[in-house]
Amino acid sequence: MQIAALVGALTVAACGGRGDSARDATTTTRGPGSVTLSAGPVTVERTAAAGEADPADVEALLAAGAAYVRAASLDPMAGRGASLRNLVTPEAASRTTGPGAEALTDAGLGRIEDVRVTAAPAPITILTDANGAAVLGAVTIDVTISGDAAKGPVTVRRIGELAFTRVGATWLLDSWRLSVTRDGRGIPTGAPPSTTTEAP
């Protein structure tokens, strides 16, 4: 079931032009809205005899995971809304609000300057159908975002799994299991607490 994780990671790095990122312990990026995920071990779960990890699928899943981090954390930290509307399946859309939303996004944290994102390599699991095509994928993230709020430094660490389903040529977020820790003097009063969420 396990494919060669390192080969997968390096393949992704090559395809994605990330250079050494896949071999580094973490990927660190700076700048507004900037986040990069590199692949950790890649596992393919096959519903039929054949099926390998297509580097393009791995790349797309990493991009989908990064898009989530951008929309959930970096956009609100830049003063924009945390909108996941275009990133989730219709089935999951109703779960992006209400209970658990505080772990899903960093809306309410306020504006953060000098943002730095550190991401551990993201293990990926891909499910292939009878034709060997990837139909579902799970990305495990460990992302730490630090920066400066008005009242001091802020650090947000989000760990967990994101599950994506392929809808046409797009990978959309369908379920998640996330835990978030928010620390620092800059955390505003009344901001979302450290919490966890899972859907379903």
Determine how many CB atoms are found less than 10 A away from the CB of residue 99: 10
Q: Is 1 in the site for other proteins (CB under 8 A)?
A: yes
Closest to other proteins by CB, 52 or 161:
161
Choosing from 84, 174, 182, 192, the residue that interacts with other proteins (CB under 8 A) is: 174
Choosing from 26, 29, 36, 89, the residue that interacts with other proteins (CB under 8 A) is: 89
Closest to other proteins by CB, 1 or 25:
1
| Neighbour-count burial for 45-79, b at 16+ CB within 10 Å, e otherwise | eeeeeebebbbebbbbbbebbbbbbbbbbbbbbee
Structure tokens at 124: 């990926």
Choosing from 176, 180, 182, 197, the residue that interacts with other proteins (CB under 8 A) is: 176
* Residues numbered 141-160 forming contacts with other proteins, rule: CB under 8 A: 160
* Residues numbered 45-84 forming contacts with other proteins, rule: CB under 8 A: 45-48
Q: Is 163 in the site for other proteins (CB under 8 A)?
A: yes
For residues 28 and 34, give the distance between their C-alpha atoms in angstroms, rounded to a whole number: 10
| Location of structure tokens 């730490």 | 144
